[in-house]
Amino acid sequence: MRKLPFTFLLLIFGGVGVANPAELRVPPMVTAGNTFSIATSGRGEADFYLVGPGHVARQKIRLGEEIRIAGTDVRISGRYLAILRSAEGNTSAAFFVSAETPASLSFLAHPSRVPVGESQGIGAVAFPLDKFRNLVLQPVDVRFELQAKDAPPVSLVVQTKSGVAWTPMDSSRKAGVALLTAAVNGFRSTRVIQQVAATPCGLRVKAQRTARGLLVETDPVRDCLGNPVPDGTIVSFTIIGRKGKSTVDAPIKRGVASTQIPDPGAASISVASSVVIGNEIRVGEGQ
């Protein structure tokens, strides 16, 4: 009677040893899209499940043989779970699938329009992606290059951290289209940045009498760096004469803003654009 507990324990442990499920030996890291094998132990048949981000696969396998995982089953990077279900019990093992080498970029450039001469006015952010559109988390070098018209290109190399490379850049002093490029592993992605003139500087108005009245016109409207202010920018003329105040909001066309109004006689004429105020002139009666 005293041997009974010992025998019982022996049976239990012995039983566990007999019912021990098959083992899975997964590789610690797998590259996306690559075919690989998972070794198993045990005997008999089993169901194998592979559960990954956005993909689940199932196959019948023979225990003790290697399970061949096709590259198409591991195209998405992330954590995968390999599960074995057999008569001896269930077992599972996790492994990671990492992205392949960069094959493309998601590239964000902001803003699409930036005033000239703005320090750190442009933001460039690049996400290197492999051929399966997985984010490449391993550090890689991304080359950013800003190419403006009539200016030497500005470039710098930034290493990705957690799959992202970003840098601020200065806009150039010359207005016009600039091409901002991000390149990795020979793959390039380009964005267009419109570098636009800043607010008008030294806004000046002049007036002359014509057969149709008074022609009021600005000098060519430029910003403080000498860039022409874009056509379409509103310039406000204010003419104060005997009959009251006359105003015209005229767009810049071909670099100047102008308007023709009936002759107001003696008048003072001022000019402004948005919150920028220009000069003021006076015209005399019939002058």
Report whether 282 contacts 265 (CB < 8 A): no
Q: Rule CB under 8 A: choose which of 113, 188, 209, 282 binds another protein.
A: 113
The edge-to-edge listing of strands for the beta sheet with 213-218 is 205-210, 213-218, 258-261
Cβ distance 47 to 104 under 8 Å? Answer: no
Task: Build a one-symbol-per-residue string for 236-275: x at contacts with another protein by CB under 8 A, - elsewhere.
Answer: x------xxxxxxxxx-xx----xxxx----------xxx
Nearer to another protein, 24 or 183 (CB): 183
Determine the size of the site formed for another protein (CB under 8 A).
Answer: 41
Distance of closest approach, residue 171 Cβ to another protein, in angstroms? 13
Phi first, then psi, for residue 127 (nearest 5°) are -120, 105
Task: Provide the minimum distance between the beta carbon of 111 and another protein in the complex, in angstroms, as a whole number.
Answer: 5
Residue 220 backbone phi and psi in degrees, to 5: -50, 130
| Residue 234 within binding range of another protein, rule CB under 8 A | yes
**Closer CB to another protein, residue 40 or residue 233?**
233
Site for another protein in 122-141 (CB under 8 A): 127
* Shortest Cβ 287–another protein spacing (Å): 20
Binding mask 162-201 for another protein (x = CB under 8 A): -----------------------------xx-x-xx-x--
CB-nearer residue toward another protein: 85 or 174: 174
Please give the Cα distance from 220 to 239 (Å, whole number).
20
Residue closer to another protein (CB basis): 37 or 120: 120
The least distance separating another protein from the CB of residue 150, rounded to whole angstroms, comes to 20
Interface with another protein includes 228 (CB under 8 A)?
Answer: no
- 48: Cα separation from own chain's centroid: 40
Name the residues that contact another protein, by CB under 8 A: 105-113, 127, 191-192, 194, 196-197, 199, 230-236, 243-251, 253-254, 259-262, 273-275
